[in-house]
């Protein structure tokens, strides 16, 4: 009820949610995907975009399970350009999110000249 007062729609039915949404994020275990897809595929309608974070399931299989083709799936690529250990394995989580080297290695996004590292440093 608290979220609904803020104007946030709450759904307890996946097919109802999918019918309402413009973008659907699939975030589940690969073993759960066939059951979830069978429950939502009838509710998918253009121009809804399905964004799958289920990395172990290839795009052709997702299209088959959903009977739908507007699906995005991230493809991750690792380029080893740094020879030193920047991951801070001996530190704490707090020190890691305050370390600009670690932040840039994991999320090198910069908007309007401000990086995530300067955002995180505001919390120190």
Give Cα separations from 88 to 6, 23, 60 (angstroms). 39, 35, 38
Residues 67, 7 share a domain: yes
Convert the pLDDT of each residue in 43-96 to its tens digit: 999 999 999 999 889 999 999 999 999 999 887 776 666 556 655 566 777 777
47 vs 120, which has greater pLDDT? 47
Averaged confidence pLDDT in the chain: 79
Residues 109, 63 share a domain: no
Q: Is residue 63 part of a domain?
A: yes
**Domain with 47 in it:** 2-72
Residues 6, 53 share a domain: yes
Residues 97, 59 share a domain: no
Q: Is the pTM value of this prediction over 0.85?
A: no
Q: Is residue 79 part of a domain?
A: no
Mean pLDDT score, 34-41: 95
Task: Determine the 3-state secondary structure of 82 from DSSP.
Answer: coil
CATH number of 55's domain: 3.40.50.720
Give Cα separations from 101 to 24, 46, 97, 119 (angstroms). 33, 41, 9, 14
Mean pLDDT score, 113-124: 39
Return the pLDDT at 82. 58
C-beta neighbour count of 97 within 10 angstroms: 20
Mean pLDDT score, 13-36: 94
């Amino acid at each position: 009820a608290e979220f609904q007062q803020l104007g946030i729609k709450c759904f307890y039915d996946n097919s109802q949610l999918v019918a309402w949404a413009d973008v659907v994020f699939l975030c589940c275990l690969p073993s759960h995907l066939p059951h979830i897809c069978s429950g939502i595929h009838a509710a998918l309608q253009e121009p809804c975009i399905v964004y799958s974070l289920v990395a172990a399931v290839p795009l052709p299989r997702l299209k088959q399970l959903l009977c739908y083709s507007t699906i995005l799936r991230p493809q991750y690529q690792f380029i080893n350009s740094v020879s030193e250990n920047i991951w801070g394995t001996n530190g704490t989580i707090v020190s890691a999110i305050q370390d600009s080297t670690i932040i840039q290695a994991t999320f090198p996004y910069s908007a309007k000249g401000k990086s995530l590292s300067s955002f995180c440093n505001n919390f120190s």
